[in-house]
Amino acid sequence: MSVLSGKKILLGVTAGIAAYKDSFLVRLFIKAGAEVKVVMTPASKDFVTPLTLSTLSKNPVHSTFYDKTDENELWNNHVDLALWADLMVIAPLTANTLAKMADGICDNLLLATYLSAKSTVYFAPAMDLDMYKHETTAKNITVLEKRGNVFIPPSFGELASGLEGEGRMAEPEEIVSFIEEHLMEGMPLRGKRVLITAGPTFEAIDPVRFIGNHSSGKMGFALAEEAAGLGADVVLISGPSHEKLVRGSIKRINVVSAYEMYESTHEFVDDVDIAIFSAAVSDFKPKVVSSKKIKKKEESMNVELVRTPDILASVGAKKKQQYLVGFALETENELENAKEKIRKKNLDLIVLNSLNDKGAGFKSDTNKITLIDKSENIRSFDLKKKKEVASDIFNEIIKHIDA
């Protein structure tokens, strides 16, 4: 799946004949899993209709600050549009708008949005051969690049004038590939493979009842999203959870029992670089599972339990190149128990959280953690959103694997 999955892309359209290709570009962004909004210059509507782009993007298309025919119309806030975007793409970019961007001229909604942008701006020029070769065009492209904007070079081919040469806007497929490659450059986990377990496991008593726990999977899912955002190829093995993934690039494998999680883990773990075990795996399961629902005949019922496979210990015992991270949820002797778990299970890092800390533990959107590495270096963090906790955990992992 694409690194664009889950990204918010703001597409700027200017008045070039290549604007018709934006209908294909929007479709490719959507197919890659991105959300797209479009801002057009007023003149660009002569080349592709707002209706086409709004239908494909499933979002309103903006081209003016407000609708002059409706005195009650609210203005289109260029700042909100700019801040919404994870990245901005201007394609096609005409020589006229290119010059205005270089000089800071702001006479339409698209230019106002560009000047408010905080995210990376990609620009794909489209103009005739002599215009593209003109020294002012080269100067303006250089100015934008020096300001941190990213130049998507035009291709060589037949131009609207009938000439053949440079100036033809890169094809939509080329634009998408260019942006994907650029986003991947410098990502700290590019080329790394990451395995994450998440959620609870359920151990059946009969077809209706089970032994389980209150884990929601929120922490594991946040870790998977963070890893994918850092460029990793991610496999998420999840027990029963209502959590949803944003990034389509994450391979999700759904399991129910501890044994199923064990089997799935060992299917992938030999080939990964980092393995994080955040799942709350049931330690015990019923020795005998009834094939039929057990009727309420007695005042009490005895269920004999046996141990489930210790997934983390089994991986630690045969670990090779993997950087192993475990979780410890404790209520007493917390540091001592966590350190013992590092030694017994051959871990590189453990994430300790305590049920004694308000806002930490199962079902919560927040967590409070302490990180302990195999050298027993300890680092504690304040209560944070689990998305931020995931970032803290990966910052620590990256620090160790790059050492």
Look at residues 5, 4, 27 and name the one whose alpha carbon lies nearest to residue 252: 5
CB 218 within 8 A of CB 363: yes
State the Cα torsion 96-102-104-105 to the nearest 10°: -10
Which pair of structure tokens corresponds to residue 270? 């030999």
286-322: string of b/e by CB count within 10 Å (b at 16+)? beeeeeeeeeeeeeeeebeeeebbbbbeebbeebeeb
C-alpha 12/C-alpha 229 separation (Å) is: 24
- Spell out the residues 6+ positions from residue 281 whose beta carbon is closer than 8 angstroms to its own: 197, 200, 201, 239, 258, 261, 308, 311
Q: Cα 394 vs. chain centroid, distance in angstroms?
A: 14
* DSSP string for 181-244: HHHHTT-TTTT-EEEEEESB--EESSSS-EE-----SHHHHHHHHHHHHTT-EEEEEE-S----
Instruction: Give the Cα-Cα-Cα angle 40, 3, 52 (nearest 5 degrees).
Output: 30
C-alpha 376/C-alpha 360 separation (Å) is: 22
Cα distances from 133 to residues 126, 140, 160, in angstroms, run 12, 12, 16
Catalytic residue among 59, 213, 337, 346: 213
For residue 92, whether the previous peptide bond is cis, meaning omega lies within 30 degrees of 0, is yes
CB 323 within 8 A of CB 276: no
Is 213 considered catalytic here?
yes
Instruction: Report, as residue numbers or ranges, the catalytic residues.
Output: 213
